[in-house]
Structure 1
Amino acid sequence: MTGTEETPAPPAAPGFRLAYVPGATPAKWVRIWRERLPGVPLELVPVPAAEVADVLRAGAADAGLVRLPVDRTFFSAIPLYTETTVVMVPKDHAVAAVEEVTLADLADEIVQHPLDDVLEWAERPPGQPAFERPATTADAVELVAAGVGLLVVPQSLARLHHRRDLTYRTVTDAPGSDVALAWPEERTTDEVEDLIGIVRGRTVNSSRGRAQTSAERPAKKAAAPGRGGTGRQQQKTTGGGRRQGGKAQGGKAQGGKPQSGKRGKPRKRS
């Protein structure tokens, strides 16, 4: 090797890629990850809700914060929380004058239903349908701001698309949106187990469900020697002070032979 040759750079540390859908907030868990696992870089991958399953299947992310449901034959999932559902309205709309509404209150209103809607409606979305469905939630928000209908979304999306001229109110009987941590079941790696422990609130010393190695198992304590240094287990006593393990109850010795209270006849002296 000549003096002009450069030393090759060490390989980059393996990282972990966490996908997340719009409205999900991974910041708290990312902070804990970086405190506990500083040697494993965590990369955040923003993904539209409709595409996150494909991203995880393709291995473009190791796990994801997703909206349920997901295919449980392929994914493992841990539900994290359920979001409140709200209706976005212009600030001068009648709905803005109350604290909360029901779906029945929206029956006569035009309600936008974007193609990327993440809510699961049992029958059909509330209100009257618009002439044409907007492609995205962002497009639907623009229509509401222009005075064309209302929009029902999870609260995090209302905050994400906040505008000064819009507000939102809780819809008490609308379905909620469940956010979960999901990953391909057959790719449950040690890093996935680490993340599971973090989102479940386990402390750094808690077991994450990994099999302990012999080095990780606590050593067994040796039994304390009995009195007299014989190493035998000390005898236990009953509440009345009788020993258990020496003489058995009922006047029998430890071997089960009856114990007589009389002494034998004295020998005849010659």
Structure 2
Amino acid sequence: MTASEDPPAFRLAYVPGVMPAKWVRIWNERLPDIPLTLVPVAPGEACAVLRAGEADAGLVRLPVDGPDLSAIPLYTETTVVVAPKDHIVAAVDEVSLEELADDILLHPLDDTLDWERPPGRPAFERPATTADAIELVAAGIGLLVVPQSLARLHHRRDLTYRPVSDAPASRVALSWPQDATTDQVEDFIGIVRGRTVNSTRGRRAEPSAEQQPKGGKGGKGTAKSPQGGARRKPAPGGQAARGQRRGGQKPAKPARRGKPRRRS
């Protein structure tokens, strides 16, 4: 098979912490003839990968840099602080940034939260990656504030995490180049937005059997009653109005039922 005869494919980039499995499963069920390839990328490289055409779309963290990339926000993550299990943080259900002011808070170079630097005491140097920062937390060097998905991704038995009530949050979005909105991109947009198989957006689809008109060619279908006959639209005024249309006469009063009353 030559390159021109290769079946179409869809390449989906995703950053650490994002779990595309549910959407990939729906894609494979709906579009089994179009293979979906996952492309893992570092957080800071996602936009460059999309611009270079190395992926058709990507699950990225906002903000997306540049107006040439479209983005649909999907969800907002809970922000947590990662700490050793014997740290005082482990004894509470939730903390605030003010309660972390006396701790060293690590700030990796691939940080995904929208702040110049985290509060608290700065570390001597910034770790290169979130994975490196996790190792420093385990060594007792400091704490780390990250989206919950990254805390789960780098889970260790000697560490725990707790929500931070007032920390910046990370938003996950589907992004793609505006000038490369292909049919496959439209299909994936429909999946992440929860559209059904018969729903369309910018793409034409043949009506299903249930959607076909039932009144013959070129005409509207006639609604039928449960007995099989055509159901006519009732005239205003109910039974009286129908009686007046028959020769202009009023409908006769219904005969009384039951036994005749005995006269005394």
The reply to whether TM is greater than 0.5 is yes
Unaligned runs of 5+ in 2: 223-231, 246-264
Which of 176, 181, 195 in structure 1 is aligned with 2:174?
181
For residue 168 of structure 1, what is the amino acid of its counterpart?
A: Y
Determine helix, strand or coil for the equivalent of 1:100.
coil
Moved more, 71-80 or 83-92: 71-80
Counterpart position of 2:15 = 21
Matched, 1:209 2:207: no
Alpha-carbon RMSD: 2.4
Instruction: String of CA shifts for 1:39-67, please: whole Å, max 9, x gaps.
Output: 00000000001000000011100000000
Counterpart position of 1:155 = 148
For residue 16 of structure 1, what is the amino acid of its counterpart?
A: F
Q: Is the 8 A contact 2:183 2:203 kept in 1?
A: no
Which of 181, 186, 195 in structure 1 is aligned with 2:188?
195
Counterpart position of 1:262 = none
TM-superposed deviation, 1:223? 4.9
> Which structure's CA Rg is the greater one?
1
Instruction: String of CA shifts for 1:128-185, please: whole Å, max 9, x gaps.
Output: 1101111111111111111101000000000111111111111011111100111111
Which of 89, 98, 105 in structure 2 is aligned with 1:95?
89
For residue 129 of structure 1, what is the amino acid of its counterpart?
A: P
Instruction: String of CA shifts for 1:232-264, please: whole Å, max 9, x gaps.
Output: xx9984327558xx9xxxxxxxxxxxxxxxxxx
Q: Residues 196 and 108 from structure 1, CA distance in 2 versus in 1: closer, same or farther, beyond 3 angstroms?
A: same
Determine helix, strand or coil for the equivalent of 2:5.
coil
In structure 1, distance between residues paired with 2:82 and 2:203 = 49
How high is the TM-score relative to the length of structure 2? 0.79
For residue 163 of structure 2, what is the amino acid of its counterpart?
A: T
In structure 1, distance between residues paired with 2:39 and 2:112 = 19
Q: Is the 8 A contact 2:107 2:117 kept in 1?
A: no
Q: Residues 175 and 11 from structure 1, CA distance in 2 versus in 1: closer, same or farther, beyond 3 angstroms?
A: same
Equivalent positions of 1:40-55 (< 5 A) are 40-55=34-49
Q: Percent identity over the alignment?
A: 67
TM-superposed deviation, 1:11? 3.3
Q: Residues 204 and 175 from structure 1, CA distance in 2 versus in 1: closer, same or farther, beyond 3 angstroms?
A: same
Determine helix, strand or coil for the equivalent of 1:54.
helix
In structure 1, distance between residues paired with 2:212 and 2:168 = 52
Q: Is the 8 A contact 2:11 2:55 kept in 1?
A: yes
In structure 2, distance between residues paired with 1:183 and 1:150 = 34
Which of 228, 236, 239 in structure 1 is aligned with 2:237?
239
Q: Residues 10 and 98 from structure 1, CA distance in 2 versus in 1: closer, same or farther, beyond 3 angstroms?
A: same
Q: Residues 11 and 224 from structure 1, CA distance in 2 versus in 1: closer, same or farther, beyond 3 angstroms?
A: closer
Counterpart position of 2:75 = 81
For residue 200 of structure 2, what is the amino acid of its counterpart?
A: R
Which of 91, 101, 106 in structure 2 is aligned with 1:112?
106
